[in-house]
């Protein structure tokens, strides 16, 4: 999650400590209301002023001489420093002593060279990294590219009034940068708008790539060793597997999920989940289980392929997400080029499976009730059919009996046009002969 990244956890820490502090007097910023992510103020050039002189001012760390404090927080501090050769201004991030574990320091020492080799126009360059012993034990530090005048991705899009297609094109460049880090074997773990800056020239830059892994900030989050209110804001961007509190069970698809959240927020100006004012365990449950809001319910114009792309990146099951940031970028580019995207809407069968997983007991009870209802209807139908058949057979038997009775009565009645003289002396033999004669006729 990194020093700049953990500012979401520690409100006094800036997400973009790199920014020029001269913007602190900007009148348009003074009216902004504070939010959970109070580090956004520093993105507008409002670094927190330390209560007393910082003992690091004037010291040299590595090849960098510290000039002033840009931001401070629970995880450490960010300084403006000057590199002697080549001479340039850098953002020097120092982790506070005691924050990092021994395993994290060993991992940091192993990954330093890889972090320094991350060279991509969309990633803030880490010039150098190392360990510093300031009398409190070895602590990691990073000398990073100083991005003066940059703004948070979402703020930049709003300020420039970018339309949906322009935002997608900008975001595709972010995906390309994330994929470069993944190819080097580094997972960011804390991708969010505050860690994606856009320079004054309109170029997006991901900051703190790999810093989270080197500082054990995943564990700091999952063990809740941070400010609770600010943690809720960070959890918006955590993948379901990150919420399962196992930092080792993380791969590039966790970053893909975070990119999906960033894309959702970039397009709608709102997060996909409402976890504000929720307890930590409930917020984690929502991220793990609840379906994200559909972008089209916020902005109807996002219905269709854009919504499908967003929701695929936000799949709970990582096997159903885009498997890499480049796959996400390619689908965005297909949309921009008016070509068919590869993502498909979830099938009804899959949606039912998700419903079963989230609400197993109610679903099982509902299934049982439906089965009983179907069986009851089927049994009733059989009974009704049997009764109808019995009624039909009874009616047939009655009709047949009536016909027999009518035939017998007709045989006993004297024929109206007969040569036989009916009287008291006529025998039944004569009647039967006459009836037989009439039947033969």
pTM of the model: 0.66
Q: What are phi and psi of 374, to 5 degrees?
A: -65, -45
Q: How far, in Å, CA of 352 to CA of 358, rounded?
A: 10
We find that the CATH architecture of domain 5-356 is Orthogonal Bundle (1.10)
Closest of 83, 108, 84, 82 to residue 95, by C-alpha: 108
Which residues are annotated as catalytic?
Answer: 190
**pLDDT given for residue 97 in this prediction:** 67
- DSSP state letters, 145-169: E--TT-EEHHHHHHHTT--HHHHHH
Closest of 82, 45, 43 to residue 61, by C-alpha: 82
Give whole-number Cα distances, 354 to 223, 254, 255, 320, 347, in Å.
28, 19, 22, 12, 11
- Return the number of other C-beta atoms located less than 10 Å from residue 68's C-beta: 14
Q: How far, in Å, CA of 250 to CA of 330, rounded?
A: 23
**pLDDT given for residue 299 in this prediction:** 95
**Three-class SS state of 81:** strand
Q: How far, in Å, CA of 204 to CA of 123, rounded?
A: 8
Residues 181 and 114: beta-carbon distance below 8 Å: no
Helices (H), 269-347: 280-289, 305-313, 325-336
Angle (CA) 120-243-34 rounded to 5° is 75
Q: How far, in Å, CA of 328 to CA of 177, rounded?
A: 12
Task: Report the sign of the C-alpha dihedral through residues 42, 250, 218, 230, in that order.
Answer: positive
Q: Produce one character per residue of 369-403: b if its CB has 16 or more CB atoms within 10 Å, e if not.
A: eeeeeeeeeeeeeeeeeeeeeeeeeeeeeeeeeee
**pLDDT given for residue 247 in this prediction:** 65
Q: How far, in Å, CA of 92 to CA of 100, rounded?
A: 17
Residue 168: CA count within 13 A, CB half-sphere: 19
**pLDDT given for residue 364 in this prediction:** 79
Q: Would you list the domain boundaries of the chain?
A: 5-356, 365-440
- DSSP state letters, 94-107: EEPTTTS-HHHHHH
List average pLDDT for each run of 10 residues in the chain, which is 441 residues long: 33 36 34 34 42 81 91 78 92 75 65 75 88 70 87 96 97 97 88 93 88 50 45 78 78 95 97 88 90 94 94 95 97 94 74 64 83 90 88 85 73 58 65 67 59
């Amino acid at each position: 999650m990194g020093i700049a990244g953990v500012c979401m956890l520690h409100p006094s820490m800036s997400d973009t400590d790199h920014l020029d502090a001269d913007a602190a007097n900007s009148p348009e910023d003074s009216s902004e209301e504070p939010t959970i992510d109070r580090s956004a103020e520093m993105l507008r050039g409002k670094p927190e002023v330390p209560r007393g002189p910082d003992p690091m001012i004037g010291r040299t760390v590595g090849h960098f001489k510290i000039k002033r404090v840009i931001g401070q927080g629970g995880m450490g501090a960010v300084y403006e420093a000057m590199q002697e050769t080549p001479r340039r201004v850098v953002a020097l991030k120092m982790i506070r002593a005691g924050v990092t574990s021994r395993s994290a320091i060993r991992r940091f020492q192993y990954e330093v060279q890889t972090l320094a080799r991350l060279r991509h126009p969309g990633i803030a360059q880490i010039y150098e990294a190392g360990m510093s012993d300031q009398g409190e034990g070895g602590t990691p530090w990073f000398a990073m590219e100083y991005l003066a005048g940059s703004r948070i991705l979402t703020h930049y899009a709003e300020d420039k009034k970018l339309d949906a297609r322009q935002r997608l094109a900008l975001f595709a460049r972010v995906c390309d940068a994330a994929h470069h880090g993944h190819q080097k074997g580094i997972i960011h773990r804390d991708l969010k708008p505050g860690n994606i800056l856009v320079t004054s020239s309109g170029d997006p830059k991901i900051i703190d790539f790999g810093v989270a892994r080197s500082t054990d900030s995943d564990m700091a989050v999952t063990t809740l060793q941070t400010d609770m209110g600010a943690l809720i804001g960070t959890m918006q961007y955590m993948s379901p597997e990150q919420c399962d509190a196992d930092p080792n069970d993380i791969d590039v698809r966790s970053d893909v999920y975070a990119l999906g959240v960033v894309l959702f927020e970039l397009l709608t100006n709102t997060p996909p989940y409402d976890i504000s004012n929720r307890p930590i365990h409930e917020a984690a449950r929502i991220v793990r289980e609840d379906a994200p809001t559909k972008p089209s319910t916020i902005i109807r114009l996002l219905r269709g392929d854009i919504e499908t792309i967003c929701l695929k990146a936000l799949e709970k099951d990582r096997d159903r997400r885009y498997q890499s940031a480049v796959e996400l970028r390619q689908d965005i580019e297909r949309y921009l080029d008016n070509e068919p995207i590869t993502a498909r809407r979830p099938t009804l069968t899959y949606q039912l499976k998700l419903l079963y997983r989230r609400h197993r007991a109610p679903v099982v009870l509902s299934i049982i009730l439906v089965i009983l209802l179907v069986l009851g209807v089927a049994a009733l139908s059989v009974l009704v059919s049997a009764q109808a058949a019995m009624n039909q057979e009874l009616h047939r038997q009655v009709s047949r009996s009536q016909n027999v009775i009518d035939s017998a009565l007709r045989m006993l009645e004297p024929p109206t046009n007969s040569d036989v003289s009916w009287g008291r002396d006529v025998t039944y033999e004569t009647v039967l002969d006459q009836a037989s004669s009439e039947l033969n006729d």
